[in-house]
Amino acid sequence: MFEFSKDGYYRVNHLIIPTREWLDKLDLDNVIKFDKIYFYMDGDIFEYNFRNKQATKVDPILLLGVCDLKTTVFHSEEDFVSINNLENCLINYINNKFSTFDCSKTVDKNQSTKLDYIYMIYNVLDYYISCGDLLEAERILEDFLKCYNICDNITSKCECV
Q: What dihedral angle (degrees, nearest 10) is formed by the CA atoms of 70, 73, 77, 82?
A: 180
pLDDT digits (tens, 9 = 90+) for 55-66: 889 988 888 766
Confidence band, pLDDT 50/70/90 cuts, at residue 157: very low
Counted residue by residue, the chain has a size of 161
pLDDT digits (tens, 9 = 90+) for 90-117: 888 887 766 555 544 555 666 677 788 8
- Over residues 10-30, mean pLDDT: 80
Report the mean per-residue pLDDT for the chain. 78
Q: Does pLDDT of 154 surpass 60?
A: no
Distance between CA 13 and CA 141 in Å, rounded?
Answer: 23
Calpha distance 76→116 (Å, rounded): 38
pTM, to two decimals = 0.59
CB 125 within 8 A of CB 8: no
